Amino acid sequence: MQWKNTTQAMDLYVLEELYLNSPAGTIVDFISWLIYGRGIKPILKLRNPKKWGDEKAQLEQIKANEGLLDPLIDIDNSVGNSDDDSIGHEHTLKQKLQGLCKMALTFGKGALIRIVDDEGYFLIPFHPKDMTFNILDEKQRLRAILTPIHDEPYEAKDLIYAEYNAVNPKHNSLYHGMALIHRMIDPARTYRRIVGTDFRLIAKKRWQDNYWAAIAKRDGKKDAANIMKKIAKGDSIVTEENDPDKDVKIHTIPNKSDSSDIIEMKRDSVRDMLQIAGIPEPLFFSEKSSNYATLIGFTTVI
């Protein structure tokens, strides 16, 4: 059974562009930092805690067997180990898992392929654009993913697979997730239009300092008077007064267009994206330094 990726290539390009060129990407980075925190470490737990007595006895049993975790920690540390000169540069486990979080938030899903060979343990990032089909078994469990860059499917046992909003109402979205940025598309596009187009045009007008227009007198008709009614504020002023030499008059005025409403609209679009992501505004707009301590303080109060 194959489930095709319901988010098509063009959709992924749109989501990618909004991550790269709007605060939606900053929000994704922030949330991925909250998810991943300062890193991960294997934790030893007892399968049957009551078997070992009270809580103190359980902790003593865990402490006595902590050495069982050392091989797992060594494997994690071997990913992107900068002290290993036998291989080229590789991103660390922390960086790869943070990237996986960002993939899932931006595109709905992401994956790391695990490869173990004589050289060691490797995790290869896999972009959702290359995750064409999900292959499920008869009980609709993910068995493998099919890609255009490899002849054989990648089995689920060889994947670290991540989804955002895994259970959602989107049709045919099983194991495809749903991108957080999907809900930010409209405010993110508004932000891009304001910053990329409107601000650029406003700046262009102000750099030019002023506008001018010249209208010649024709058959006694007051052309300028009619045009003046159609001219937008800050564009130009025209007149029909006779010039002694050229029968034309030129007037200029400085451009004083007001952009405060556009600036406020830009801020509102950022606030919309924060509300969609469920992030309190003080965490994003506050001038105080945002670190783990202030974050806990904000979230506790809110």
Confidence of residue 300 (pLDDT cuts 50, 70, 90): very low
Side chain identity at 210, as an amino acid letter?
A: N
What would the mean pLDDT of 74-93 be, rounded to a whole number?
A: 68
Confidence of residue 252 (pLDDT cuts 50, 70, 90): low
Q: Check residues 172 and 20 and name the one with the higher pLDDT.
A: 20
Q: Which of 199, 216, 195, 197 is nearest to 207 (CA)?
A: 199
Taking the C-alpha atoms of residue 20 and residue 130, their distance in angstroms, rounded to an integer, is 19
| 116: three-class secondary structure by DSSP | strand
Confidence of residue 254 (pLDDT cuts 50, 70, 90): low
Taking the C-alpha atoms of residue 248 and residue 239, their distance in angstroms, rounded to an integer, is 8
Q: Write down the pLDDT at residue 190.
A: 92
Q: Write down the pLDDT at residue 93.
A: 80
Are 112 and 100 in contact by the 8 Å Cβ rule? The answer is yes
DSSP secondary structure of 199-248: HHHHHHHHHH-EEEEEEE-BTTB-HHHHHHTTPPTTT--B--PPPTTTSE
